[in-house]
Structure 1
Amino acid sequence: MTVSEISNFSSLQAPAKASAIALYARPSAHFAAKLDATIELLRAAAQDHRGAIVQATSLGAEDMVVTDLIARLGLPVAIGTLETGKLHPQTSALIPRIEQRYELPVEVYRPREEQVVHFVRKNGEDAMYRSLELRKGCCSVRKMEPLGRMLEGRTAWVTGLRREQSNNRGTVPFIETEANGRTKVNPLADWTWNDVWHYIASHDVPYNPLHDEFMPSIGCEPCTRAIAVGEDFRAGRWWWEDEAAKECGLHATKTAETAAA
């Protein structure tokens, strides 16, 4: 597949729309216990890292659940997101919706303009399609550097990672200590996709309408497409790459210690 074919692939597809809630909202057998454990974990993390903890939200379904829980429980956890400059408008639109719905500010971190300009001038707008190195370079400029600013001065961060999302995430712990000593909290680690949508339906949680277009995992617009029946959860992310490469770096850090809740 050529660069031109790759970049036009998602626009050539015309995914049908269906309600993600209708399709997926079914709790697993032990959902109530999972929810109780999630709440306990979030409360403990907020207490242990008071004033120095942030939720790094991608604005996907899982992260919207975490944001709802933080707001519902009144936890002192900041909400932060990365506006890469390449997000779908439907994704960016969730930022003001969160602020209006929960009356909580969202910290928005954008890439350094000069770094983006330099990268694009040197490599082109379609660089991510040409090699894994260039795609990761784009992610570094648009995601990794802004994330570093988000986490600066913070002792902990909260994510929406789940073990079910991919093989690479199959052993995600509830709590991990990164090599730099920062704590990473993954309160939905054992939730299923159905659990996530059951919670969204039960609490009327705002969500990205692209989930209704068969996009379970949503990143930057050039790097996301709808998936077909039977495809892997993250098949629509960087779909031209080998499965083992499908991480941007945000969740590929080495850890010093992991612990299960």
Structure 2
Amino acid sequence: MVTPCRRGGAEVSPAVNLNTSTPTPTRVLPERRSIEQLKALAEQGSAELWRTDGTEASATAVIAWVARNFGADSVAVACSMADAVLPALVSVQVPGVDVLFLDTGYHFGETYATRDAVEEALDVTIVDVLPLTTVPEQNAEHGAELFARNPNQCCALRKVEPLQRTLADYELWFTGVRRNEAPTRANTPLITWDERNGLVKVNPVAAWTYDELLGYAAEHTVPVNPLLSQGYPSIGCAPCTQPVAAGADPRSGRWATLEKTECGLHL
């Protein structure tokens, strides 16, 4: 079975398909708390992070709550490498935190370059999350360009299954999901129990706007994917991502010719 590849500073050129690399052994993990304990923590956090005036806690306060209640080895940050704002925020309070990068084998060269820049700039550990098969192996089994013929299956094989397999090692994951990204994300909570993956899910920047995200990146010199300034406000796999018109739904460039707006990671 393919295991996540913990890079730990290894040099990898942009646009290289890491699905052909030899993965490193799985790390030794602390004992995971029970589902009941983790569910209780999710409920506790959801209640604590509402202020007395009825407003939500800041992203920094949310991350501080996690740092108080979870060990550094038990949490991970999911990052698509559109920007590194979330890893930057988390690494301040959880130095060396694992940052999960889903290496589908179909990313833009700019996305791989951003991953490498994040590894260089931030106090994080990049973990390349690999599918069970390489792109050539998938083509041999399912036919070429599965992403065009059956995008749901392609996403399931190259994103959803690898992430679920990797998250089994953790008690909590951070995501950069924001409410104004799409109607499907409008009710995103700061903290919730992720029933599908069996761990706590935290969305510290849920209330942020796209402009706030870019503003933070500029102010703190956080790496961003250059495609953001080329009309790609939402960046996925290269064959399935197109630039969008100014003012359009940020995710309208994802699977643009299909009735699909989510890959399945956040359903």
Q: Taking structure 2 as the reference length, what is the TM-score of the superposition?
A: 0.74
Deviation at 1:75, TM superposition (A): 4.3
**Separation of aligned partners in 2, 1:157 and 1:74:** 13
RMSD after superposition: 2.0
Note if 1:41 corresponds to 2:56.
Answer: no
For the residue of structure 1 that corresponds to 2:78, the secondary structure is: strand
1:247 partnered with 2:266: no
Question: Given the alignment of the two structures, is residue 158 of structure 1 paired with residue 180 of structure 2, yes or no?
Answer: no
Report 1:87-236 matches (<5 A): 87-113=107-133, 116-130=135-149, 134-179=150-195, 181-236=198-253
Please give the alpha-carbon distance, in whole angstroms, between the structure 1 residues aligned to 2:168 and 2:194: 14
Higher relative contact order (CA 8 A, sep 6+): 1
SS of the aligned residue for 1:67 comes to: helix
Residues 149 and 184 of structure 1: is their aligned pair in 2 closer, same or farther, counting only changes over 3 Å?
A: same
1:36 Cα deviation from its structure 2 partner: 6.8
8 Å CA contact 2:193–2:200 kept in 1: the answer is: yes
Question: What 5-or-longer segments of structure 1 have no aligned partner?
Answer: 1-33, 253-261
Q: What amino acid is the match of 1:147?
A: L
Quote the offset at 1:70 in angstroms.
1.9
In the other structure, the counterpart of 1:54 is: 76
| In 2, Cα distance between equivalents of 1:103 and 1:75 | 6
Q: How many residue pairs get matched?
A: 211
Give the Å deviation of 1:163.
0.3
Residue of structure 2 in register with 1:65 after alignment: 85
> Residue 250 of structure 1 aligns to which amino acid in structure 2?
L
Aligned structure 1 segments of 4 or more residues deviating by more than 3 angstroms: 73-77, 116-119
Deviation at 1:152, TM superposition (A): 1.6
Q: Does 1:83 align with 2:100?
A: no
Cα distance in 1, alignment partners of residues 213 and 56 from structure 2: 10
